[in-house]
């Protein structure tokens, strides 16, 4: 089931929390929704899950429009809201039973579904405890279990791992990856490593607008688009080497990285490479090329570049 | 099963889990029992089989108990975020509001039903006007339903339960006696309007044994207005606000 978001705008007062946002999530895809706090991630997710209507634009989930057929959309979505709200005074089993009833699962199939969820989410030992008595990690699992109980085609998870310890984070991520194989998943986060580890695609949102959309590799490339080399050349005068490097046809910029030895950062012009030229230059001049490493742009840098203004 | 009933069942379970239901039942039965049998104008004092004092006490105790019952219903869900969880399930705002409304109504009906032994025992010690008793119960029930819907509205506009409690009392006071009192000071047309707005006046006319369609319409429109306002407050999130 595809999620198609078309030009949605949502205002709070005069402020636009989401401004003309469009994107598509395909079946079987796990999309990470990334952005600084207050960028509009949660607002977009609330619109997808029909918590509120956007002021403008439309969203379709599996062909159903949130404006024309919200109840069909809701039936197909499993939603884990931000901060994982739960009825703390209810026992886990009762709570799952209640949610299953709300989703219209027939009474004779509810117990099987609950059992399935208890197994999938690892709640076996806690199922009779009150939700409020559980640790945060287990509460998060209850949140996931209630989102999955009706076996939805679409999963919307708002910061699914916030507040968990590293082991729990890895468990939840594995669970999401496992579930995400046959479902459409959209998850939000402001932790880059998490999105990189779980998602096939990343959508970066900033100040209510989408600033990037693509795979991690594509994003890295798009943001820099230029080759950066770390070069160390020995056996030559520093200034002479610097000038010679700058004189290469494909080189845009040369930076001295250290004062003591001849290490430079060489940035090529867009869509070109100067690796061969650097090597030939050294061979011609009789210098020793001791290091030539392409530097990979970190996703953090991409993120900072896109969202810092 | 109907979504409204699923919500009602959960609310009822939460009443009884949180002791709220027991406290309310004990307090209500205790107060009304005390005044029927032992204190003030009780049956032995007036030497007459009558439930007058029972209805008098119930009229006031329900006025205070109902806001305590409804104050958390929406306010708590708003502040804990479970409202978002509920409204993203395949149910509508109306179904949520009606489910909660129904659960409070059921609890009030249970507490009124539990006072029937007073009726039976009083009836056994002397001649009793049975018609007046039944219209008395009808009056109490209609009044309760009206306050439940006002309470739900008060609960829907805030995340603070105390604010919800005080607000529904404040709105309630106007209907409970202020409109009736003010009506006496304003002659003519304004006085008539105030008198029509007074819940007390309609309650008294029903308990007097005259079940007029005018009174029923009054209660039904008050109930509808309260629920409609609660639903509208919830639906406001679609336009601008959180």
Tens of pLDDT, residues A257-284: 777 778 888 888 777 788 888 888 888 8
Q: Does A99 sit within 8 Å of B13, measured CB to CB?
A: no
Q: Does B89 sit within 8 Å of A107, measured CB to CB?
A: no
DSSP code, position B172 = H
Q: Among A54-68, A97-111, A210-224, B197-211, which stretch is predicted with the lowest mean pLDDT?
A: A210-224
Q: Does B14 sit within 8 Å of A51, measured CB to CB?
A: no
Asked if pLDDT for residue A79 goes beyond 90, the answer is yes
A263/A126 Cα distance (integer angstroms): 58
Judgement on whether residues A232 and A187 belong to the same structural domain of the protein: no
Q: Does B92 sit within 8 Å of A71, measured CB to CB?
A: yes
A17/A42 Cα distance (integer angstroms): 10
Q: Which residues of B touch A46 (CB under 8 A)?
A: 84
> For chain B, which residues lie within 8 Å of any Cβ of chain A, measuring from their own Cβ?
1, 3, 6, 10, 13-14, 17-18, 80-82, 84-85, 87-92, 237-242
Q: Which of B3, B17, B240 sits opposite A102 (nearest CB)?
A: B3
Closest CA to A98 of A51, A146, A48, A154: A146
Judgement on whether residues A166 and A283 belong to the same structural domain of the protein: no
Q: Does B18 sit within 8 Å of A12, measured CB to CB?
A: no
Judgement on whether residues A84 and A44 belong to the same structural domain of the protein: yes
Which pair of structure tokens corresponds to residue B141?
């029930």
Closest CA to A8 of A77, A51, A55, A61: A55
Report, as an integer, the average pLDDT of A20-48.
Answer: 89
**Spatial CB neighbours of B185, under 8 Å, sequence gap ≥ 6:** B191
- The nearest alpha carbon in chain A to B79 belongs to A85
Q: Does A52 sit within 8 Å of B238, measured CB to CB?
A: yes
pLDDT of residue B45: 67
The gap from C-alpha A138 to its chain's centroid, in whole angstroms, comes to 23
Closest CA to A118 of A89, A103, A97, A135: A97
Burial of residue A239, with CB atoms counted within 10 A of its CB: 0-12 exposed, 13-18 middle, 19 or more buried: exposed
CB A212 within 8 A of CB A33: no
B197/B217 Cα distance (integer angstroms): 12
CA distance B82 to chain A (A): 5
Asked if pLDDT for residue A305 goes beyond 80, the answer is no
Phi-psi region of A286 (alpha: psi -120 to 50; beta: other; left: phi over 0): left
CA distance B147 to chain A (A): 26
B238/A43 Cα distance (integer angstroms): 12
Asked if pLDDT for residue A291 goes beyond 90, the answer is no
C-alpha torsion A131→A134→A140→A141, nearest 10: -90
DSSP code, position B237 = G
pLDDT of residue A228: 79
Which pair of structure tokens corresponds to residue A292?
């030539």
Structural domain contains residue A198: yes
CA distance B237 to chain A (A): 6
Determine the structural domain holding residue A208 and report its residue range: 3-214
CA distance B141 to chain A (A): 29
pLDDT of residue B242: 45
pLDDT of residue A297: 65
A159/A81 Cα distance (integer angstroms): 8
A98 touches chain B (CB under 8 A): yes
Asked if pLDDT for residue A199 goes beyond 70, the answer is yes
Q: Among A86-95, B109-118, B233-242, which stretch is predicted with the lowest mean pLDDT?
A: B233-242
What is the tally of structural domains in chain A?
2
CB A22 within 8 A of CB A212: no
Structural domain contains residue A189: yes
A201/A186 Cα distance (integer angstroms): 10
- The nearest alpha carbon in chain B to A50 belongs to B88
Q: Does A102 sit within 8 Å of B90, measured CB to CB?
A: yes
Q: Does B242 sit within 8 Å of A101, measured CB to CB?
A: no
Judgement on whether residues A56 and A182 belong to the same structural domain of the protein: yes
A130 touches chain B (CB under 8 A): no
pLDDT of residue B155: 95
Burial of residue A297, with CB atoms counted within 10 A of its CB: 0-12 exposed, 13-18 middle, 19 or more buried: middle
Average pLDDT of chain B to the nearest whole number: 88
Q: How confident is the model at residue A191 (pLDDT cuts 50, 70, 90)?
A: confident
Q: Among A118-122, A154-158, B71-75, which stretch is predicted with the lowest mean pLDDT?
A: A118-122
Domain end residue (candidates: A193, A214, A235): A214
Distances (CA, A) of B237 to A43, A267, B167: 12, 50, 21
Judgement on whether residues A57 and A156 belong to the same structural domain of the protein: yes
Q: Among A2-6, A104-108, A294-298, B229-233, which stretch is predicted with the lowest mean pLDDT?
A: A294-298
Average pLDDT of chain A to the nearest whole number: 86
**Spatial CB neighbours of A148, under 8 Å, sequence gap ≥ 6:** A78, A117, A120, A121, A155, A179
Residues B75-122: tens digit of each pLDDT: 999 999 999 999 999 999 999 999 999 999 999 999 999 999 888 888
Which pair of structure tokens corresponds to residue A73?
């959309």
Judgement on whether residues A137 and A195 belong to the same structural domain of the protein: yes
Judgement on whether residues A12 and A151 belong to the same structural domain of the protein: yes
Q: Does A49 sit within 8 Å of B88, measured CB to CB?
A: yes
Q: Which residue has better confidence, B171 or A241?
A: B171
- DSSP string covering B46-97: HTS---HHHHHHHHHHHHHHHHHHHHHHHHHHHHHSHHHHHHTSS--HHHHH
Report, as an integer, the average pLDDT of A279-304.
Answer: 80
Judgement on whether residues A49 and A183 belong to the same structural domain of the protein: yes
Judgement on whether residues A139 and A44 belong to the same structural domain of the protein: yes
Q: What are the two backbone dihedrals, phi and then psi, of residue B111, each rounded to the nearest 5 degrees?
A: -70, -35
CA distance B93 to chain A (A): 10
Report, as an integer, the average pLDDT of B172-177.
Answer: 90
Domain end residue (candidates: A196, A214, A232): A214
Q: Which residues of A touch B13 (CB under 8 A)?
A: 90, 94
Structural domain contains residue A301: no
Asked if pLDDT for residue A62 goes beyond 60, the answer is yes
Which pair of structure tokens corresponds to residue B121?
């025992």
Domain end residue (candidates: A214, A245, A262): A214
- DSSP string covering A185-232: EEEEES-HHHHHHH-SEEEEEETTEEEEEE-HHHHHHHHH-S-EEEEE
Q: Does B14 sit within 8 Å of A87, measured CB to CB?
A: yes
Q: Which of B14, B84, B240 sits opposite A81 (nearest CB)?
A: B84
Asked if pLDDT for residue A181 goes beyond 70, the answer is yes
CB B10 within 8 A of CB A89: no
CATH at A256: 3.30.70.100
Structural domain contains residue A302: no
- The nearest alpha carbon in chain A to B13 belongs to A90
Residue bearing tokens 């012009």: A269
pLDDT of residue A60: 93
ipTM associated with this complex: 0.87
Asked if pLDDT for residue B175 goes beyond 50, the answer is yes
B190/B164 Cα distance (integer angstroms): 30
Judgement on whether residues A151 and A61 belong to the same structural domain of the protein: yes
Q: Which residues of A touch B14 (CB under 8 A)?
A: 87, 89-90
Residues B23-49: tens digit of each pLDDT: 999 999 998 888 877 776 666 766 676
A159/A142 Cα distance (integer angstroms): 15
% of chain B exceeding 70 in pLDDT: 94
Which pair of structure tokens corresponds to residue B106?
């059921």
Q: Which residues of B touch A101 (CB under 8 A)?
A: 1, 6
Q: Does A98 sit within 8 Å of B92, measured CB to CB?
A: no
Q: What are the two backbone dihedrals, phi and then psi, of residue A279, each rounded to the nearest 5 degrees?
A: -65, -45
């Amino acid at each position: 089931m595809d999620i198609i978001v078309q030009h949605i705008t949502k205002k709070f007062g005069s402020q636009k929390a989401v401004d003309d946002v469009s994107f598509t999530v395909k079946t079987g895809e796990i999309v990470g929704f990334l952005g600084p706090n207050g960028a509009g991630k949660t607002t977009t997710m609330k619109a997808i899950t029909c918590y509120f209507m956007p002021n403008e634009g439309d969203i379709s989930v599996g062909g159903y429009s949130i404006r024309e057929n919200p109840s069909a959309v809701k039936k197909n979505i499993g939603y884990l809201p931000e901060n994982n709200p739960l009825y703390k005074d209810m026992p886990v089993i009762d709570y799952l039973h209640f949610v299953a009833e709300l989703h219209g699962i027939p009474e004779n199939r509810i117990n099987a579904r609950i059992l399935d969820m208890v197994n999938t989410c690892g709640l076996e030992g806690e199922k009779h405890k009150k939700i409020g008595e559980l640790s945060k990690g287990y509460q998060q699992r209850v949140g996931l279990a209630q989102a999955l109980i009706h076996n939805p085609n679409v999963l919307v998870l708002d910061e699914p791992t916030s507040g968990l310890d590293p082991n729990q984070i890895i468990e939840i991520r594995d669970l999401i990856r496992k579930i995400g194989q046959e479902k459409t998943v959209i998850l939000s986060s402001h932790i880059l490593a998490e999105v990189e580890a779980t998602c096939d695609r990343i959508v970066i949102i900033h100040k209510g607008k989408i600033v990037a959309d693509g795979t991690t590799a594509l994003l890295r490339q798009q943001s820099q688009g230029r080759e950066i080399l770390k070069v160390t050349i020995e056996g030559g005068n520093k200034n002479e080497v610097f000038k010679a490097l700058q004189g290469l046809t494909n080189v845009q910029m040369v930076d001295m990285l250290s004062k003591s030895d001849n290490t430079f950062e060489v940035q090529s012009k867009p869509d070109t490479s100067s690796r061969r030229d650097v090597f030939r230059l050294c061979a011609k001049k009789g210098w020793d090329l001791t290091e030539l490493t392409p530097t990979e742009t970190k996703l953090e840098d991409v993120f900072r570049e896109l969202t810092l203004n | 099963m109907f979504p409204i009933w699923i919500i009602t069942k959960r609310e009822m379970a939460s009443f009884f889990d949180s002791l709220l239901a027991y406290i309310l039942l004990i307090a209500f039965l205790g107060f009304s029992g005390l005044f029927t049998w032992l204190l003030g104008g009780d049956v032995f004092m007036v030497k007459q089989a009558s439930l007058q004092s029972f209805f008098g006490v119930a009229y006031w105790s329900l006025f205070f108990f109902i806001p305590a019952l409804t104050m958390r219903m929406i306010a708590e869900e708003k502040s804990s975020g479970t409202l978002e969880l509920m409204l993203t399930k395949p149910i509508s705002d109306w179904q949520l509001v009606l489910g909660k409304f129904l659960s409070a109504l059921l609890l009030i009906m249970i507490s009124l039903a539990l006072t029937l032994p007073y009726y039976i025992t009083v009836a056994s010690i002397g001649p009793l006007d049975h018609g007046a008793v039944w219209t008395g119960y009808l009056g109490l029930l209609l009044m309760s339903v009206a306050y439940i819907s006002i309470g739900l509205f008060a609960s829907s506009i805030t995340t603070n339960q105390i604010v919800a409690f005080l607000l529904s009392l404040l709105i309630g006071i106007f209907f409970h006696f202020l409109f009736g009192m003010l009506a006496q000071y304003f002659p003519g047309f304004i006085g008539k309007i105030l008198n029509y707005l007074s819940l007390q006046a309609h309650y008294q006319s029903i308990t007097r044994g005259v079940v007029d369609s005018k009174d029923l319409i009054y209660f039904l429109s008050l109930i509808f207005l309260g629920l409609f306002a609660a639903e509208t407050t919830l639906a406001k999130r679609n336009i601008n606000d959180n």
